[in-house]
Copies of this chain bind each other. A is one copy, B any other.
């Protein structure tokens, strides 16, 4: 931790900082420059409270030297973590595409969706039973009944399932219905009580990035899950809020190489929610794989024009199949497979 004093700092103010650091159990290295005095804190900086130091007289700025995340950090675990989802490996050489509809509607729809997903060569399936909707008057999901339909459809095609948990009180229901991967949505990325609870299970968790979360905040949200003992965490970039209105969210493709450097955990991308339009999905999906993503979450609906939710962003089964072919070529070009 480095404390930068303002330009007219006094010896008394410097002593005040040094004393406060001592209280935190840290040594000081005082470096008096020509225009500024800089104090380096030596020791475990996690013990020091940045805001308290910033509130001291004469302090201009306080800069952390160490990354605030621990368990999820690449420095904690050098090798890539590979997560096993019912036998399907995510985070290794093979790229996983998780296909399926935005929301669970009917058994027929889910059966058709599962067949389409499997036929396209995907090994995991997604679908929402509980839907976070901007309006309280919109369709809110089929709930527990939806979970049952999903489980049944996916099992027939032998696909592990991914579905979103919004309410901490539903966690037991998710475990009872043997959800394979719990998804935490963008609006709940910093719902810390929810993170703590899924941190107590051992279920793989897909943690979507918050609407305008920095990469650092996102890593810290994952640290909440990891701190509870659950290290099976998958980051999912899904686009962030921006000034551009042509599409829904701005896919932050740079987050992929950054996360691969900062964390050992797998990184996937949701091109469907990023762009918000089906015609943008193939380009974004290809970009994500080319940039190093370990997987994708792709919306596919047996009959997009009849979808109960986000109808305009789902691929149809045939489009998913074509996309899988393109992704295979790109994966190969970078030494991976699909």
Contact = CB atoms under 8 A, between A and B. Distances in A.
Interface of A: 2, 4, 7, 29, 31, 33-36, 38, 40-44, 46, 49, 51-52, 54-56, 63, 65-66, 68, 75, 132-137, 166-169, 187-188, 190-193, 196, 210-217, 220, 223-224, 227, 239-247, 250-258, 261, 274-275, 278-280, 283-284, 286-292, 304-313, 326, 328-330, 332-334
Nearest to A217: B134
A279 B253 contact: no
Contacts of A246: 214-216, 258
B244 A257 contact: no
Contacts of A51: 307, 309-313
A240 to B, nearest CB: 7
Contacts of A283: 253-254, 256-257, 290-292
Contact of A54 (B191, B254, B291, B311): B311
Given A166-B192, A257-B279, A307 B224 contact: no
B312 A55 contact: yes
Nearest to A308: B49
Query: Majority SS of interface residues in chain A?
Result: mixed
Of A34, A51, A56, A215, most buried by chain B (CB within 10 Å of CB) is: A51
Contact of A311 (B43, B55, B135, B136): B55
Nearest to A37: B65
A166 B137 contact: no
A212 B243 contact: yes
Contacts of A330: 290, 330, 333-334
Contact of A192 (B43, B132, B251, B275): B132
Contacts of A214: 243-246
A214 to B, nearest CB: 6
B166 A169 contact: no
Contacts of A280: 254, 257-258
A219 B338 CA distance: 37
Top 3 A-B pairs ranked by shortest CB distance? A329-B333, A212-B212, A290-B290
A24 B38 CA distance: 20
B274 A254 contact: yes
Given A66-B36, A220-B135, A254 B258 contact: no
A310 to B, nearest CB: 5
A56 to B, nearest CB: 7
Nearest to A7: B75
A253 B287 contact: yes
Contacts of A75: 7
A315 to B, nearest CB: 12
A313 B258 CA distance: 15
A307 B52 contact: yes
A254 B42 contact: no
B40 A38 contact: yes
14 contacts: A4-B65, A29-B31, A33-B65, A34-B43, A49-B311, A55-B278, A56-B305, A137-B223, A240-B242, A250-B250, A254-B275, A254-B284, A287-B287, A329-B332
